Amino acid sequence: MALRNLSKLKIHKFGIRQFSKEANLVSVAVNDKTGVATLNLQRPPVNSLNLEILSEISSTLTDLEKNKTRGLILTSKNEGIFSAGLDIMEMYKPDVERMKKFWTTLQDTWIKLYSCSFPSVALINGHAPAGGCLLALSCEYRVMFKNCTIGLNETQLGIVAPQWFISSMRNVIGQRQTESALTQGRMFKTEEALSIGMIDEVVENNEEGVARAAAFLKRFERIPPMARAMTKKYIRKETIENMVKNREEDLKNFVTYGTQPAVQEYLGAYLQSLKKKSKA
C-alpha cells in the first residue's frame, strides 16, 4: 500500500485507489497510472475549515509527500462550495487553547501546501472566500467553475488578513491588485478572477475541470522532479521563511487581535447575518 497512514483503503477499477481518513473530512484518491492524488474536502455543509479538517489536510499532505506523489488536485466533494474559509466558530467566543491549536494547524497546513515538492492544482468547483481562497492561492495552478466567487474578504468581516495570506495573493496577482482587492475585501466572480490572473482557466463542469487540472500536471511528466521541486522551493523560499520566522508572533497576534471585543462583535454580527441568510 502506497499510503500507509491513510485508512480504509479501497481498490477501484481503472487503477484509482480511494482513501478516507477515519473522520472522513477529507478523502484522497490516487491514480496509480499517473501518481496524481485528488484530495477532496468534504466537511458539510460548506467545507469551513475547523481544527479537525485542517489536521486531516495537514496529515494527508505529509503522507503524500512521503509517498512521492507526482501531483495534487485539491478540490471539494461539495460542488458549489470549494471552501467557506476558516470556520468562524473557531474564532467566535473561543476557547483560547483550542484557538491556538487551530491557528498552529492552519499555519502547518499552509506551510505544507505552499512548499510541497509535487505540483499542485486547485480545482475550484465552488465559492472560495477567505481561507478557501488561501488554499487555492497556495497551489501552483487554479481551474475554476463558472458563476463562483473567490477572494480574501476579511476586511468585510472587520478582520485583517495576516501577512502570509497577503503574500500568497501578492505572489499570484501582484502588489497593486492585491492592495485594491484586500482593502475592499473584494470577492471576484470567476471571469473577473481570470482577468486579473487570480485563476488560470475557467471550466464548465467537473469532468472538464479534472481534465484541465490533469493537463497542467502532465506538463511536468518530462521535467526531472528534483529540478522542478528545487526551483519551486527557491521561488517560494522568501515567503515561507518570512512566515516560519514570524509564526510565534503571528499566533500571538491572532489570539490577541481575535479576542478583542470589537473583533468578537464583528464576528458575531457576521455569523448572525450568515444564519439569517440561510434561514431566509
71 is catalytic: no
Binding mask 136-175 for ligand LG6FSS7D (x = CB under 6 A): -----------------xx--x-x--x-------------
- By DSSP bridging, strand 149-151 and strand 126-129 are parallel
- DSSP character for 49? B
| Catalytic residue (one of 86, 134, 137, 217) | 86
Q: Identify which of residues 7 and 272 has a Cβ nearer to ligand LG6FSS7D in the complex.
A: 272
Does residue 130 interact with ligand LG6FSS7D by CB under 6 A?
Answer: yes
Containing 126, the helix (H) or strand (E) segment is strand 126-129
Question: Which DSSP symbol is given to 86?
Answer: B
CA distance 21 to 103: 21
- Confirm or reject binding of residue 127 to ligand LG6FSS7D (CB under 6 A): yes
Comparing CA positions, the residue from 128, 118, 113, 114 lying closest to residue 49 is 128
Binding flags for ligand LG6FSS7D, 61-100, as an x/- string (CB under 6 A): --------------------x--xxxxxx-x---------
What are the CA-CA distances from residue 140 to residues 216, 254, 260 (Å)?
Answer: 10, 27, 35
Give the three-state DSSP class for 72: strand
Measured from the CB atom, is 48 or 75 closer to ligand LG6FSS7D?
48
Q: Evaluate whether 88 touches 270 at the Cβ level (below 8 Å).
A: yes
Distance CA 118, CA 65 (A): 8
Q: Scan for cell 501552483, then name that residue.
A: 140
CB-wise, 47 or 115, nearer to ligand LG6FSS7D?
A: 47
**Binding residue for ligand LG6FSS7D (CB under 6 A) from 48, 55, 109, 115?**
48
Whose cell is 492544482? That residue is 121
Q: Which helix (H) or strand (E) holds 112?
A: helix 96-114
Query: Is 86 one of the catalytic residues?
Result: yes
135 binds ligand LG6FSS7D (CB under 6 A): no
CA 2 vs. chain centroid, Å, equals 24
Closest separation between CB of residue 48 and ligand LG6FSS7D, Å?
A: 4
Q: By CB under 6 A, what part of segment 198-257 binds ligand LG6FSS7D?
A: 254, 257
List residues near ligand LG6FSS7D by CB under 6 A: 45-46, 48, 81, 84-89, 91, 127, 129-131, 153-154, 157, 159, 162, 254, 257-258, 274-275, 277-278
Positions marked active-site? 86, 131, 153-154
